[in-house]
Amino acid sequence: NKTMLMRSIVLLLLTFTAIRTSLSAISHIPSSLLELPLDGHFSFDELHHAAKDFGNQIQFLPSAILYPKCVSDIALTIEHIWQMGPPSDLKVVARGHGHSIQGQSQTHQGIVINMESLKSPAMNFHRGKSPYVDVRGGELWINILRESLKYGLAPKSWTDYLHLTVGGTLSNAGISGQAFRHGPQISNVHQLEVVTGKGEVVKCSENKNEDLFYSILGGLGQFGIITQARISLELAPDMVKWIRVLYSDFDTFTRDQERLISAEKTFDYIEGFVIKNRTGLLNNWRSSFSPQDPVQASQFKSDGKVLFCLEMAKYFKLRESDTVIEETEKLLSQLNYISSTLFISEVSYIEFLNRVHKSELNLRSMGLWDLPHPWLNLLIPRSKIHIFAEEVFGNILRDTNNGPILIYPVNKSKWDNRTSIVIPKEDVFYLVAFLSSAIPTSTGNDGLEYIISQNKKILDFCQRADLGVKQYLPHYTSQEDWKAHFGPQWESFVQRKSAYDPLAILAPGHRIFHKAV
Ligand code: FAD
């Protein structure tokens, strides 16, 4: 009948389109590459998956996805492309969990390496006085946490969300509420195994191939692909006192935050966020507390005012249950929050660290996880945070509320200036993260265009007022802007590129280098 016929025609058309896409993709890949003796394989199916990321704004369709089984699959592939040399312009990018915002783990007509498919070697733990674990570059942090806990151990420095890969966060920095004490994740790595843009497999550390080691850390995937990392561990606590308190005065809020991050005896995790009165559904995605306690903090009625929430955690072993109450009370007694706004709960260590995943599941069930995410992350010098807050929270963002805004200080002394990341010059600087979600069909205050224009207003203000702000998870579209971002570090970034990836094969999605350097 007619419907059956129509269905068959549509099916045929779809098959034809799929075959055509695959064929045109294959045509960009030299046949010699497909003949390499790999344990893994190239795939031309489902390319659109690799043309998506968490940002949901940019799509570069690759020509192929490499599913490596071992490190030599990656090395052989890159070495082959390196040896082809110009005029071949084939690019390669490592894809961790694809949680970039602006296409950083994508490549137009190039090869995406699916890092999560690299299954060996297995995680290897070393106990003793200075414990560590060797993990694969494509390993998710949540898996490392689960495995480490079996040995009573855990990494020291985290991100707020753990379904990210080691290679993905080490290419940036990896910042969360532990960074004030331990530094970012890139300060907690002892050794890396890397495949460079020439296809060489190199082990590097602060004592061996030191320049490559520091290039890779915070290097935006520009100098090599991280296939293994040695992560520093500490004894894991059992439980966490998880606390939120509120402030109506920004100065008091930041004074307390800064006092806490500089004190010897202090909390183990220190963050903070901004609360606007109209708390929307999306604004709650980070709040997964049980009902009796701190979740209430973000729903506090503020009579139109902006409030600031200081978020802290104190880790403890079960046998320390009594002393931790005393210690926590003592620390809290030194703070100047609004006294009626103490929200406190007790959760397991894993529940605390994996807290955002709970919100993810919630948002997924409502279809709100895969929205466009025009995020903006800034590192702001301490001396400029008040000017910034006055203009941004008091003026630019007065009418909107599209997602959480995190704000917390970290100590620069815990960052290594030999790594590739660019940070502000002062001893203390703030991470301010505007984690917006956009409603795709909206042309209003919650639409993508509006949020992007708000982000631009914030960036323009920072530049006009000369605040010395640096973007974290930076995104620029011209080399001029990248040069300005790196400032005095630009020359050494270019030198590192010419040493480790001279044909600019790697990670083109950042749009830093378009051709050989
Ligand atoms: P991808 O998006 O796959 O890759 C990111 C970049 O790293 C690309 O350039 C890619 O080529 C490169 N890359 C990936 N793997 C490798 C490798 N093995 N070797 C070399 N280069 C590689 N960041 C924080 O610091 N703190 C947070 O608290 C935080 N919270 C977040 C919460 C959510 C919900 C999301 C979506 C992101 C968050 N981020 C946070 C940002 C996150 O750390 C980065 O976006 C990170 O790059 C994502 O990791 P990924 O594995 O998804 O990387």
Active site residue 271: yes
Question: Residue 14: pLDDT above 80?
Answer: no
Nearest CA to ligand 1 atom 27: 159
| CA distances (Å), origin 500, targets 95, 166, 201, 215 | 19, 20, 11, 9
Instruction: List pLDDT tens digits, range 213-271.
Output: 999 999 999 999 999 999 999 999 999 999 999 999 999 999 999 999 999 999 999 99
Question: Residue 294: pLDDT above 80?
Answer: no
* Cα Rg, the chain, nearest whole Å: 24
- Provide the percentage of residues in the chain whose pLDDT is more than 90: 85
Nearest CA to ligand 1 atom 40: 159
Question: Residue 23: pLDDT above 60?
Answer: no
Q: Of the given ranges (127-136, 303-312, 355-364, 478-487), which has the lowest mean pLDDT?
A: 303-312
pLDDT at 120: 82
Mean pLDDT of 151-171: 98
Active site residue 35: no
CB within 8 Å of 437: residues ≥ 6 apart: 282, 285, 368, 371, 372, 373, 402, 403
Question: Residue 291: pLDDT above 50?
Answer: no
Ligand 1 site residues, Cβ closer than 6 angstroms? 53-54, 93-100, 104-105, 115, 137-138, 159-161, 164-165, 167-169, 171-176, 220-221, 225-226, 473, 507
- Provide the percentage of residues in the chain whose pLDDT is more than 70: 89
Please indicate whether residue 159 or residue 286 has the higher confidence score (pLDDT): 159
205 forms bridges with which residues in the sheet? 191
Can you tell me whether residue 469 is helix, strand or coil? coil
Q: Kindly report the CA angle at 350 between 284 and 205, in degrees rounded to 5?
A: 105
pLDDT at 287: 52
Mean pLDDT of 334-355: 95
For residue 17, name the pLDDT band (cuts at 50, 70, 90): low
pLDDT at 84: 95
Q: Ligand 1 mean position to 102 CA, how many Å?
A: 11
pLDDT at 515: 81
Please indicate whether residue 374 or residue 294 has the higher confidence score (pLDDT): 374
Active site residue 97: no
Secondary structure (DSSP) of 58-111 = -----SEEEE-SSHHHHHHHHHHHHHH-TT----EEEESS---SSSTT--TTSE
| Ligand 1 nearest atom to the CA of residue 356, by list position | 34
| Ligand 1 nearest atom to the CA of residue 406, by list position | 28
Instruction: List pLDDT tens digits, range 105-116.
Output: 999 999 999 999
pLDDT at 279: 47
Q: Positive or negative, the Cα torsion across 417, 422, 426, 432?
A: negative
CA distance 249 to 255: 10
| CA distances (Å), origin 44, targets 35, 66, 112, 215, 322 | 15, 9, 11, 32, 59
Question: Residue 282: pLDDT above 50?
Answer: no
- In this structure, the strands spanning 111-114 and 189-196 are unpaired
Nearest CA to ligand 1 atom 47: 168
Contact 485, 478 (CB under 8 A): no
Question: Residue 19: pLDDT above 60?
Answer: no
Number of H helices, E strands in the chain: 15, 18
Q: Of the given ranges (1-5, 45-49, 127-131), which has the lowest mean pLDDT?
A: 1-5
Mean residue pLDDT of the chain comes to: 92
Nearest CA to ligand 1 atom 45: 100
Domains and CATH numbers, the chain: 1-236+479-517 (3.30.465.10), 239-472 (3.40.462.10)
Question: Residue 286: pLDDT above 60?
Answer: no
CA distance 341 to 223: 48
Instruction: List pLDDT tens digits, range 486-509.
Output: 999 999 999 999 999 999 999 999
Check whether the bond before 68 is cis (ω within 30° of 0): no
For residue 28, name the pLDDT band (cuts at 50, 70, 90): confident
Neighbours of 32 (CB within 10 A): 10
Question: Residue 36: pLDDT above 70?
Answer: yes
Half-sphere exposure of 144 (CA within 13 A, CB side): 32
Closest CA to 435 of 177, 55, 149, 30: 55
pLDDT at 283: 45
pLDDT at 13: 62
Q: Ligand 1 mean position to 164 CA, how many Å?
A: 6
Q: Which two tokens stand for residue 480?
A: 């001029």
| CA distances (Å), origin 271, targets 86, 179, 242, 341, 464 | 48, 10, 11, 16, 28
Question: Residue 288: pLDDT above 80?
Answer: no
CA distance 407 to 309: 9
CA distance 26 to 16: 15
pLDDT at 15: 58
CB within 8 Å of 384: residues ≥ 6 apart: 465, 467, 468, 469
